[in-house]
Structure 1
Amino acid sequence: MKLDPAFIWTAFVQLLSAIPTTLEIAGVSVLCGSLIGTAVALVRIYRVPVLHPIASAYVTFIRGTPMLTHLLLILFGLPMLIDAAAESLGLPFRSVSIPMIGFVYISFSITEGAYMSEVVRSGMLAVNRGQFEAAYAVGMTTPQALRRIVFPQAFAAALPNLSNSTIGMLHATTLAFAASVVDINAKAQIVAATNWKFFEAYIAAALLFWGLTFLIERLTALLEKRINSYNRGGVA
């Protein structure tokens, strides 16, 4: 087998059309996962009755099982629940009308939520308890203290982990092919299937993923620099 450098460029160009789908999956999953993770982190930190053990079990189960398993459970289990619920309510709606990428969003967001909850929780725990006391001393409520004092500092502390989690989700989008969603990696398989030059196609896919990862790293570095310019002098 001989390497065909020309086909690497050909595959690279064809893979560009799959970038929006990959970024869309990663972006939606990280955004929804962050919302889920923040809610779960607050429940665990404040030990909300009833919800606390449920949140802990959710994080433990999701982190203890493979991401592909979550996707397959959603793909096969959620349609059954939706169809059963629609039938019991006498609704004409059926799960087949939901695009496959919708199940990918749900599965990946649930997975990302468990990991993001630990990122958010670690960031919040890094904020000195005295910040809360100072906020309460000037008359702030807990939601105000969280929004104005704690979350900004927690975000700064958790930014490196947030970046790693985002990069991890970007790479995890390759699992979307199991739901027949064409991301960069799936597109590489399709492109290579015409002439069996899979090695060259995967090199092109690797270069694209590396470029996107590098972009996220640079954006994170710029954001860290901007945040540190406001925190010069340090806040305990």
Structure 2
Amino acid sequence: MTIDLGFMWTAFIQLLSAVPVTLLITGVSVVCGFLIGAVIALIRMNRVPILHPIAVSYVTFIRGTPMLVHLLLIYYGLPMLIDAVAKEVGSGFRAASIPMIDFVFLAFSITSSAYMAEVIRSGLLAVDRGQLEAAHSVGMTTMQAMYRIVLPQAFAASLPNLANNVIGMLHGSTLAFTVSVVEIMAKAQIVASTNWKFLESYLAAAVIFWGLTVLIEKATGLLEARVNLYNRGGVA
């Protein structure tokens, strides 16, 4: 067996055009997942009546089912719901007009939110509650104490797990090709189909994903160093 390095390089160059789509899917799902997860984490930590058991069930269900299942449920189920509601209210709107990538954004944000909720909750739990009480004793409000004392420490404690989630969503973005969104893996299949050199095309995709993962790890390391310096009272 021989590997056509020339075609692998050609595939690598062509796959670069799909990197922005992959990064967009990852970025949107991570940001939206973080915001939703933060709300869920606060609901669970404060044991908000009615909402607390819903939040627990949500996290348990999402974390207990595969990412691909979430995508397919949204992709097939949501259009049916949208069309049914539109028909009921007499609207001419149809789910077919919604870009496929929007379903990917929604599904992956839901997946990300459950994992982010646990990361955020564990980070907040890592901060001694006595620090919040000490802040109150010197006249700080709860919001001031959270912003200046609790959140910086919680963020530092959560950063490695946050980075792992970002990497996980980056790799999970490859599932978007199942609903015809052309990200890196879908592009790899398209490129390989020109002469059936799938191995070279997939190796090129692997190199790109590896490079993106290394960049995330390096960026996380630099950010972690700055955050820890700030928390120790140094100059960030």
Same fold (TM over 0.5): yes
| Gap change, CA 1:33 and 1:215, over 3 Å in 2 | same
Q: Deviations over 1:64-96 (max 9, x none)?
A: 001000000000111111111222222222111
What SS is found at the alignment partner of 1:209? helix
Q: Distance in 2 between matches of 1:7 and 1:67?
A: 32
Partner of 1:9: 9
Amino acid at match of 1:96: A
The correspondence of residues 98-117 of structure 1 with structure 2, limited to 5 A, is 98-117=98-117
Amino acid at match of 2:4: D
TM-score w.r.t. the length of structure 1 is 0.96
| Gap change, CA 1:83 and 1:139, over 3 Å in 2 | farther
Q: Is the 8 A contact 2:4 2:200 kept in 1?
A: yes
Q: Distance in 2 between matches of 1:93 and 1:141?
A: 48
Amino acid at match of 2:8: I
Which runs of 5 or more residues in structure 2 are unaligned?
Answer: none
Partner of 2:95: 95
Q: Deviations over 1:97-151 (max 9, x none)?
A: 1100000000000000000000000000000111210222234443443333222
Q: Is the 8 A contact 2:153 2:231 kept in 1?
A: no
Q: Distance in 2 between matches of 1:54 and 1:116?
A: 16
Amino acid at match of 2:204: A
Q: Distance in 2 between matches of 1:143 and 1:101?
A: 37
What SS is found at the alignment partner of 2:76? helix
Amino acid at match of 2:227: I
Q: Deviations over 1:46-71 (max 9, x none)?
A: 00000000000000000100100000
Q: Distance in 1 between matches of 2:26 and 2:78?
A: 21
Amino acid at match of 1:110: I
**Is 2:136 the partner of 1:129?**
no
What SS is found at the alignment partner of 2:16? helix
Partner of 1:119: 119
Q: Is the 8 A contact 2:152 2:227 kept in 1?
A: no
Q: Distance in 2 between matches of 1:143 and 1:48?
A: 18
Amino acid at match of 1:58: Y
Q: Distance in 2 between matches of 1:210 and 1:42?
A: 34
Partner of 1:80: 80
Q: Distance in 1 between matches of 2:40 and 2:223?
A: 25
Amino acid at match of 1:82: I
CA drift of 1:233 comes to 7.1
| Gap change, CA 1:87 and 1:7, over 3 Å in 2 | same
The correspondence of residues 1-236 of structure 1 with structure 2, limited to 5 A, is 1-232=1-232
Count of aligned pairs between the two proteins: 234
What SS is found at the alignment partner of 1:72? helix
Which runs of 5 or more residues in structure 1 are unaligned?
Answer: none
Q: Distance in 2 between matches of 1:120 and 1:180?
A: 33
Q: What value does the CA root-mean-square deviation take over the aligned residues?
A: 1.4
What SS is found at the alignment partner of 1:93? coil
What SS is found at the alignment partner of 1:92? coil
Q: Distance in 2 between matches of 1:73 and 1:148?
A: 41
What SS is found at the alignment partner of 1:181? coil
